[in-house]
Structure formats: C-alpha cells, structure tokens
Amino acid sequence: MTLYIASSWRNTYYPEVVNHLRKAGFDVYDFRNPPSGDPGFKWHLVGEDWLQWSPAEYREKLHHPLAEHQFQNDIEALRRCDACVLVLPCGRSAHTEAGWFAGAGKPVVAYLPEKVEPELMYKLFTAVCCSLDEVVQTLTEKTSTTP
C-alpha cells in the first residue's frame, strides 16, 4: 500500500510518522523530500513577501513555475497513492488533500497525536487514530480486506 502523508511543514510529528510507516512496510510519499529530488515547496521561494500578498497576487502566484512544479509532484502522488494519513496539527492544504482522497473513495486515516479541536466532518474518514500503532493496524486491516 502506498501512503500519502498529508500534514504541515511545521508539524513536528511528521518525520516520526513517515519513518514509522516505512518501517511497518508501507511505501510513503514524503512531500518534504519528493521523488523529483528537489527540496519540496515553500511559498517564500516564490516571493519573500508572500505573507503580504493581496488575494489577486496570491491567485497569480499559484501559476508561478515553482508552484506549478510542486503541484504536479503532489497531484501525481495523490493519484498514485492508495490511502492518506492526515497528521494533525495541520492546515488547509493537508485537509484539502485528505478531502480529495475521501472524495475519490480512498481510505483516509486521521492521526491525532495530541489534543486538537474536535471536527465533526472527520466522520468522512476511514478512522481517527490516537497512536501510530493504531494507524498501522487500521491500514493493515484495510489492506487485508481490499480485493
């Protein structure tokens, strides 16, 4: 099973999750180290003033070559991966990615390693897990029941 880990650059749990799932035998897409070999995407690479962009500037910057390149990395990974692990805390992009998986009928496991604000719509997901062992068990069960 190939996994897409949806999270934030600021999430301190992310490296542990990637390593744990790889050791458990899963193939993991790591957006911080994409297969293309580049260092992943950060908005400051498009413009140092990225936090001051107007809505129109933001819309324009979505078409910047660096943004286009990373979007292609990520969307190809979404299409290729069998399931998604949403690692909290995280932001809008990760939730959009998890929503894409849910809408595509692919399994989504939300991993909550710490206390977070409750979210009713997580009921769309396959499972909400509180430990990495529980994530592995859920994904393993999903693999063994998938034809």
Q: What is the pLDDT confidence band of residue 39, given thresholds at 50, 70 and 90?
A: confident
pLDDT at 7: 96
**Range 41-58 average pLDDT:** 94
| Axis-axis angle for helices 132-145, 14-23 (nearest 10) | 40
Q: What's phi and psi for 104, nearest 5 deg?
A: -85, 0
Q: What is the pTM of this model?
A: 0.90
Say how far apart CA 9 and CA 30 lie, in whole Å.
Answer: 11
pLDDT in tens, 22-38: 999 999 998 888 777 77
The pLDDT score that the predictor gives to residue 38 is 76
Q: Tell me the per-residue pLDDT of 74-130, one tens digit each, with 9 for 90 and over.
A: 899 999 999 999 999 999 999 999 999 999 999 999 999 999 999 999 999 999 999
- pLDDT computed for residue 143 by the predictor: 66
Examine the pLDDT at 147 and tell me if it is beyond 70: no
How far is it, in rounded angstroms, from Cα 80 to Cα 103?
15
Q: Give the whole-angstrom CA distance, residue 24 versus residue 22.
A: 5
pLDDT of 144 above 70: no
Average pLDDT over residues 14-18: 97
* The pLDDT of residue 34: 77
Please report the pLDDT score of residue 146 as a whole number: 52
The mean of the pLDDT values for the chain is 93
